[in-house]
Structure 1
């Protein structure tokens, strides 16, 4: 039987109380990680495939977004515009989306605890010499 908890909080100055099931919260977070992971992974892989198909006409670039998404008068407009068309920025975007999506998907299936990644990271010298890093690992 699922455990039901009661949450009492305040939203916009009004007290709110509601019951929730820990069982379904876990499933919801699992599903959210899978959906968001797949969305990012698919976006990154699609960009990588179009970039790596050796046809320069198909190459994806972040230039259109960097040049047109920043509103006029923004003090960083020149900074974002200077990155437009830079191949390094395009590669960072493609690989960042792909690897972030993959990490979310693997993390949803317990890569940290089940596959032993957390144990490996906790044994690293940098984590041993900086105990506060253990809080990041859970």
Structure 2
């Protein structure tokens, strides 16, 4: 089981990263599955709390209070005051869909991009940094970037098979979403 990631750096020189060997493949697959379960569980739990908890998930407090003085504060305060219902729906939906895509190994780069986006937003939004600059949000962001770079969907994931479909073969740019 081997996958090779080939990119171009800013100087135009080829950069290649070869991931080969059974243990490396298992490790990348495990990272994908654990990250997928983490996000799937986070999203589905928020939806489950809507029906089973006296206090359902609400982003309003985090949006309006926890982010004061951060880079994303103007955005989050506006959403907290005007469209908290949207955030209360879209964040759990995004977490659930990102997690499901990673668990199945479908559109892994696309899902991991949005996972990295959310984690970047959470990292900047929780910028009190009471635990330092290296925290769980940054580690989550790095997990998603790792999945993108190592083409984790091609290792024990459905992306490996989807890349052989005629649609993807006829439109090679779709491969950037897979893997």
Question: TM-score higher than 0.5 here?
Answer: yes
Distance 2:176 2:102 in 1: 19
Structure 1 stretches of 4+ moved >2 Å: 20-23, 117-120, 130-138
Aligned length: 112
TM-score with structure 1 length normalisation? 0.64
Gapped regions of structure 2 (runs ≥ 5): 3-18, 106-152
Query: After superposition, where does 1:84-95 map in structure 2 within 5 Å?
Result: 84=80, 86-95=84-93
Which runs of 5 or more structure 1 residues have no equivalent in the other structure? 4-19
Counterpart secondary structure, 1:132: helix
Q: How does 1:42-81 map to 2 (within 5 A)?
A: 42-51=41-50, 53=51, 57-72=54-69, 74=70, 76-81=72-77
By how many angstroms is 1:123 displaced? 1.7
Structure with the bigger percentage of helix:
2
Give TM-score scaled by structure 2 length.
0.51
User: Partners in 2 of 1:54 and 1:135 — Cα distance?
Assistant: 40
Structure 1 residue aligned with 2:97:
99
Greater Rg, structure 1 or structure 2?
A: 1
